[in-house]
Each structure stands twice: as structure tokens, then as C-alpha cells.
Amino acid sequence: MEREKGSYSVQAVLKAFELLEQLAADDTGASLPVLAKKLQLSRNKVFRLLATLEAKALVERDGVGGTYRLGLGAFEMSQHMLKGASLIRLAHPVMEELARRHGEAIYITVMNNDEVLFLDMVDSFQQIKTVPLVGQRFPFFTNAAGKAMKAMASFDFLDRMAKRMGKKEEVPDVRQLEAELREIRQKGVAVEVGGLGEGICAVAVAIKDYAGKVVGALTLLAPSFRMLQERLEQEIIPSMLEGADTLSMKFGYAKIPA
């Protein structure tokens, strides 16, 4: 019974994708009977699929004609996908240059629902290096990348976060976190040791687009024993800031002269 249920769930997902593909191919929208015929499903099953997708704003119904078309949620999702692909394409040459220059792992990271996603990397050639983190997510307040991105936004979210998460042990002190974010905003760079694991040092700088909106962060990860203060201040941080400026300019960001 469990296997049949699982198989049905997979089939439902496949049909949902087919349904979205049909709507994407028809700019004028499609009626329930037409969709049922194209998908070779009963009208009742197609209606349930449409209702589920509509609840997620992936599909919307024309109240007058009764036809269905892609909703705003589908377009927003496609924009996120395109932005992610564009970010990787534009960032990779910059990441390769930074990795070659410093011999350390360089990542491009993005924010998703208050979590940092490690999207792409150029690995270190060193024998001793950090474990690859591509595809992994972490709460933003646990690492330099998340703090570098959040530091450039309004801090109103901190109180909302505190109320939403309650008194969980892993939640940091909001006022202390705010002070840390303000310092990062002023310096333009976040440096943290131990946030992503014992003995790991992270250096992160936010990337902005033409509107000044943060689209991601360049992040260097290395064993902390190689990240001496002199090297950080004279080599790593200036280079990371330069790389972030270069990448931000590719997204149309123009710094205002001081």
C-alpha cells in the first residue's frame, strides 16, 4: 500500500509539471476540459491539481472565462532560477581568479528564506582544505556569508525573527547580532571563525545589482591556521572586496563616490 501511495505521489508530481508545461505553452490560457484531454486525466484529477497549484500562486484562474494560466508564483520562480544561473555564470571567472590568487576555496552564496545556500565553488588546491559545501544550507546568523548579506538590509527583520523563533538555544541575542551586522555594514566585509565548523575561517563580501539590492556574496573558506591576521588584512580582505566590486559592476551596480 505504501509503495502504491508513493508511486501515485510521483505520478501526481509528474502530471503537475506537465500541466505547468501546457500552460506555459499557451499564452491565452486553457480550460479545464482542454487540459484534461491533453493530460489524459479525468477533469476531477486535473481540477485538484489546478487547485493545489493555484494555492501556491503557480496557477491563476480567469474568473470570467474560466480558463487557467501561469500565476505570478511561476514567474517569480523562473526569475529566481534565471538569476541563480546568471549569478553563477558571471561569478565563476571572478571566483577562479580569487582561488588562483589565494589558493583557497571560493564560493558564491545566496540567501533563501533566511538561510544561506552555497551555490557554486572553485576549490582549493591545498592538501589541507575545508569540506565542500555546495548545495548545503545554513541559518544566516551562523556564518559570515549570511551576515555579509543581511548587514546590507534593513534590520527590522531581527525583531520579527526573534518572535518567530522564540527562545531556541541556537538563536543569537538580537541586539548583539544587530551590533555585529552594523559593524559589518561599515567595514563591508564579514570575517568569522568557527561558524561553519571548528577551525574554519570564512571571509564574505556582499554582491549588489544595479538597484543596490544584494544578490549574493563571495565567500572564501579556509582552515583558520592559514588565515593569520596580517594575511587577512593585507591580502585576503582587500582582494575579496575588489572581487565583489568587479562582480557587482557586472550586475550594473555603481558605487557612489565618498
Asked if residue 255 belongs to a domain, the reply is no
pTM over 0.85: no
What range does the domain containing 110 cover?
A: 80-250
Question: What is the domain-level CATH number for residue 208?
Answer: 3.30.450.40
**Residue 75 and residue 79: Cα distance in Å, rounded?**
6
User: Do 46 and 155 lie in a common domain?
Assistant: no
Least Cα distance to 205 among 236, 173, 161, 251 occurs for: 236
- Tens digit of pLDDT for each residue in 129-179? 788 888 888 988 889 999 999 999 877 777 676 666 655 546 667 788 888
Q: Yes or no: say if 255 and 206 are a contact pair by the CB < 8 Å rule.
A: no
Closest C-alpha to 208, from 173, 235, 245, 243: 245
For residues 174 and 200, state if they share a domain: yes
Domain boundary among 50, 70, 90: 70
Helix (H) or strand (E) segment spanning residue 120:
strand 115-122
> Do 120 and 53 share a structural domain?
no
Type and span of the H or E element at 128: none
- How many distinct structural domains can be found in the chain? 2
Residues 64 and 127 grouped into a single domain: no
Last residue of a domain, one of 18, 41, 70: 70
**Contact yes or no for 108/219 (Cβ under 8 A):** yes
**Domain identity same for 122 and 88:** yes
Q: Same domain, yes or no, for 156 and 244?
A: yes
Please say whether the beta carbons of 101 and 239 come within 8 A. yes
What tens digit of pLDDT does each residue of 33-87 get?
999 998 889 999 999 999 988 888 888 888 777 889 888 777 666 655 555 667 8
In a domain? residue 34: yes
Residues 54 and 88 in one domain: no
